[in-house]
């Protein structure tokens, strides 16, 4: 038997974490009972679609009673999940059934394309949310539901022309900007909102502390409305969906890191928040391991897990907003009738849950005072961040923060390098927006205020009663 006569290969792909992985679909026709077999770890879905694919292929090309087709999907150690591989499988069957019409050259050219699509019994090529995601993240030449509506249409083109039509529908036409979360309107707390907007631009992690009922969580949710600001300054794709992830504080470590289920890796909360916002309410109540591992993730912007003999990396570059009460009862800041009932050692233990190194990684730490204690808005900035003139800012990626950092080091020698860097980014953005120099009194006062607030928090950490 000349194997080449009966063998073919096609490409498809699947998502692994955030990255696309090409999948090779091999098909071999042999003599035997008319049937289709799939190997190479197909998931239940794909195994169930055997009959459908066989019926569809038999409809378009003659599948006689002695044609047995074996399909193998590579790479072999990864479960092939999802309905989107069906199109490539059906095409591979059609090609081996009609092998005489395909020269080596034409088969080679087909490898420039990546076929994805879910098939209906009627032969229509359908889309799924996963296919949408692949379209938006792929730089491969994809052929799927956006180009063809039915298997027959695609097969006709392939048979006659030898290659598929790939009129790329632009991203813009395909999907309008997607809002996955409705920001809540927020009034008052001008200074805090301005600080959040500055942090949105620099993506500095934010820690909001305060008694319950002062609007910490609401403020964190309001931050979603700062996304357009962030995108504009950072020149990010305006059509990409922005994840807003707010897990509850009893989530397990594996939910955050992702898990290995059989041969399939599932990404966790940290990676799901990639390129978006991660809100961690009641931060001090979170699992200790999550809090500590967060340090590494904030530094490397990646989640690593070790599975099946290799290290997997998933991107996790998010803007973190954490909120926390100052003590278990939440009332250690005296505010009228609610008095703190926690013993001193409990407050001490509670505040120690946010370790020094972790505390250091928050670029902005704000203690929300009672609403009736008005705090001045940031000098020189329009009250509403939406009114800020973003044209004054250079594209964020191109700014060199080192000179600014060195300038700040002279004035705030007590800060760590990491803290200095975070402050330098904030100072740079503030000074650009207000047109004050870096070492002007105004900019230095802005940073001094932030540093003093932090130092007060640090010094009083065991006891907020006198705050
Ligand atoms: Zn208390």
State the chain's mean pLDDT as an integer.
83
| C-alpha separations of 424 from 271, 381, 411 in Å | 27, 18, 12
Residue 183 maps to a domain: no
Spacing, Cα 342 to ligand 1 middle (Å): 4
**153 pLDDT more than 80:** yes
CB-hemisphere CA count at 13 Å for 332? 27
Residue 311 maps to a domain: yes
Q: Left, alpha or beta for 308 (phi > 0: left; psi -120 to 50: alpha)?
A: left
Spacing, Cα 379 to ligand 1 middle (Å): 34
Same domain? For 158 and 209 the reply is no
Which domain CATH number covers 258?
A: 3.40.50.300
- pLDDT-based confidence at residue 336 (cuts at 50, 70, 90): low
Residue 217 maps to a domain: yes
Same domain? For 272 and 166 the reply is no
Which residue's structure tokens are 């969906």? 241
Spacing, Cα 273 to ligand 1 middle (Å): 32
**205 pLDDT more than 90:** yes
**145 pLDDT more than 90:** no
Report the chain's C-alpha Rg in angstroms. Answer: 28
Total of domains in the chain: 2
Residue 464 maps to a domain: no
How far apart CA 378 and CA 393 sit, in angstroms, is 18
Spacing, Cα 334 to ligand 1 middle (Å): 10
Spacing, Cα 333 to ligand 1 middle (Å): 8
Q: Pick the closest to residue 10 from 65, 86, 101 (CA basis).
A: 86
Q: Is there a cis peptide before residue 347, judged by omega within 30 degrees of 0?
A: no
The answer for residues whose C-beta is within 8 angstroms of residue 453's C-beta and 6 or more apart is 365, 366, 367
pLDDT in tens, 321-335: 999 988 888 876 655
Which residue's structure tokens are 């692949």? 134
Spacing, Cα 465 to ligand 1 middle (Å): 9
pLDDT in tens, 23-36: 999 999 888 888 88
Please give the structure tokens belonging to residue 148. Answer: 């063809």
Residue 421 maps to a domain: yes
Spacing, Cα 343 to ligand 1 middle (Å): 8
Spacing, Cα 326 to ligand 1 middle (Å): 7
Spacing, Cα 158 to ligand 1 middle (Å): 71
Spacing, Cα 350 to ligand 1 middle (Å): 10
**91 pLDDT more than 80:** yes
Spacing, Cα 211 to ligand 1 middle (Å): 9
pLDDT in tens, 228-265: 888 888 877 766 677 888 998 888 888 898 876 665 56
Same domain? For 170 and 101 the reply is yes
Spacing, Cα 340 to ligand 1 middle (Å): 4
Q: What domain range includes position 382?
A: 190-459
Q: Regarding predicted confidence, which is higher, 188 or 335? A: 188
Contact by Cβ (8 Å): 135, 174: yes
Residue 182 maps to a domain: no
């Amino acid at each position: 038997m000349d194997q080449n006569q009966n063998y073919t290969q096609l490409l498809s792909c699947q998502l692994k974490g955030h990255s696309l992985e090409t999948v090779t679909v091999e098909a071999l026709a042999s003599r035997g009972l008319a049937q289709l077999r799939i190997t190479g770890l197909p998931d239940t879905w794909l195994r169930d679609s055997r009959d459908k694919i066989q019926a569809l292929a038999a409809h378009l090309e003659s599948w006689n009673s002695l044609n047995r087709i074996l399909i193998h999907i590579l790479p072999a150690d990864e479960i092939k999940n999802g309905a989107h591989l069906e199109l490539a499988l059906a095409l591979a069957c059609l090609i081996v059934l009609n092998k005489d019409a395909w020269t080596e050259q034409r088969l080679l050219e087909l490898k420039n394309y990546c076929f994805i699509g879910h098939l209906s019994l009627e032969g229509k090529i359908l889309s799924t949310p996963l296919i949408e995601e692949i379209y938006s993240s792929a730089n491969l030449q994809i052929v799927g539901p956006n180009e063809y509506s039915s298997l027959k249409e695609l097969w006709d083109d392939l048979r006659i022309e030898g290659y598929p039509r790939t009129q790329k529908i632009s991203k813009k036409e395909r999907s309008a900007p997607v809002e996955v979360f409705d920001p809540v309107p927020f009034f008052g707390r001008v200074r805090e909102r301005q600080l959040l907007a500055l942090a949105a631009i620099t993506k500095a992690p934010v820690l909001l502390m305060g008694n319950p009922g002062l609007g910490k969580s609401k403020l964190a949710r309001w931050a979603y409305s700062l996304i357009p600001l962030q995108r504009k300054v950072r020149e990010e794709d305006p059509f990409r969906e922005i994840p807003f992830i707010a897990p509850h504080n009893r989530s397990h470590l594996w939910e955050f890191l992702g898990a290995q289920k059989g041969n399939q890796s599932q990404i966790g909360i940290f990676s799901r928040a990639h390129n978006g916002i991660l809100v961690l309410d009641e931060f001090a109540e979170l699992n200790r391991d999550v809090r500590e591992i967060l340090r590494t993730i904030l530094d490397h912007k990646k989640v690593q897990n070790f599975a099946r003999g290799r290290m997997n990396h998933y991107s996790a570059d998010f803007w973190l907003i954490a909120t926390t009460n100052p003590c278990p009862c939440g009332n250690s800041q005296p505010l009228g009738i609610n008095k703190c009932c926690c013993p001193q050692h409990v407050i001490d233990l509670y505040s120690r849950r946010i370790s020094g190194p972790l505390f250091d990684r928050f670029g902005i730490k704000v203690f929300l005072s009672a609403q009736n204690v008005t705090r001045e808005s940031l000098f020189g900035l329009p009250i509403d961040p939406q009114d800020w003139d973003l044209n004054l800012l250079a594209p964020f990626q191109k700014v060199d923060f080192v000179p600014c950092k060195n300038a700040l080091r002279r004035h705030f020698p007590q800060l760590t390098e990491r803290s200095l860097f975070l402050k330098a980014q904030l100072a740079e953005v503030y000074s650009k927006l207000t047109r004050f120099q870096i070492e002007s009194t105004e900019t230095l006062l802005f940073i001094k205020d932030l540093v003093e607030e932090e130092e007060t928090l640090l010094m009083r950490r065991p006891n907020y009663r006198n705050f």
